[in-house]
Amino acid sequence: MLLLLLLLSAFGVAVGNQCEELQDGEFFSYGETTSEAPGPSDWYKKWRQCGGNRQSPINIDTSRVRHRHFRTLKIEFDRLGGLVSGELKNNGNAPTFFVDKHKGTARLKGSRLSDTYVLTNFHVHFGCENDRGSEHTRNGHRFAAEIHFVFEDSRGRFAVVAVWLRASKNENTILGRLANQMHKIIDVDESAKIRRAIGIRLMRLIPHKSRKHKTLVLSNYFHYVGSLTTPPCCEGVMWFVLRRTVPITDYQLSQFRVLEGRFPKDPPHMCDNFRPLQPLNRRYVFSVTN
């Protein structure tokens, strides 16, 4: 048996570290632990990896980051403008847009990635008030919200591009189009089909250095290796937290705040759906500007 495991490892087959999705009826909360669902400080009792020492989110202390030049980080979209369609769902924890890959998605490659990762979903963490909401913090500062673009490779490994949303009077029209859909998924487990005509053009929602046809070049980001920020908290996730923020208006935030959560901190509202900061332990955060 040991020999078999060694052989599997040698051929690059993941052994025992597959990231299992939550089973039906398995729930977690962002509030206090109840008989129905554990809160963040107890997640590890049900999902062992949540107690690991390479967890996310973290505070990014810009005085302690390591400056590096890695290969160019790129997102290649299938459709012009990064137009996507799919299903928007209130899963009880975050409004999540599941991209219909057959109708066009995106691939993340470069930097420290050894493989190509495909966009599967994006979702939003947001606060009940503007002074909080993001999962990652920068020098202790918490932004009003944070979008996670979740990419997965053929071996089931994850890479996430995170974009901080700062409360502002300026408006990002694509974020507005997304926010305008929230009233369709107010109840937990509600979902809505999002057609291309709605115009969710992701290229305009992701700050970038340059764009060429259907490819975005990202620069100016923080990189570290962490985990999923929700159970089962699988580790080995390649994080790319973009330094440039995207504005979100009070009105757009109010559209997210109507969503209901499954076991919310502030019933019945989903807001404040961010995990507490995790210790960095023996990890480096890299600052990449190329």
Binding site for Zn ion (CB under 5 A): 148
**What is the closest distance, in whole angstroms, from the C-beta atom of residue 195 to Zn ion in the complex?**
24
State the residue for tokens 């002074």: 131
Residue number, 148 or 204, with CB nearest to Zn ion: 148
Q: Kindly calculate the radius of gyration of the chain based on its CA atoms and give it in whole angstroms.
A: 18
Residue number, 94 or 194, with CB nearest to Zn ion: 94
Q: Which residues contact 3 (CB under 8 A, 6 or more apart)?
A: none
Alpha carbon distances (Å) from 9 to 2, 16, 154 = 11, 10, 16
Residue number, 188 or 228, with CB nearest to Zn ion: 228
Q: Which amino acid type is present at position 187?
A: D
Contact between residue 91 and residue 21 where contact means Cβ atoms under 8 Å apart? no
**What is the closest distance, in whole angstroms, from the C-beta atom of residue 232 to Zn ion in the complex?**
14
Two structure tokens written together for 254 = 């109010």
Residue nearest to Zn ion (CB): 148
Residue number, 16 or 91, with CB nearest to Zn ion: 91
**What is the closest distance, in whole angstroms, from the C-beta atom of residue 122 to Zn ion in the complex?**
9
**What is the closest distance, in whole angstroms, from the C-beta atom of residue 229 to Zn ion in the complex?**
5
Residue number, 77 or 149, with CB nearest to Zn ion: 149
State the residue for tokens 């909360």: 29
Whole-angstrom distance, CA of residue 72 vs CA of residue 69: 9
Q: Residue 241: which of 185, 176, 161, 126 has the closest Cα?
A: 161
**What is the closest distance, in whole angstroms, from the C-beta atom of residue 20 to Zn ion in the complex?**
17
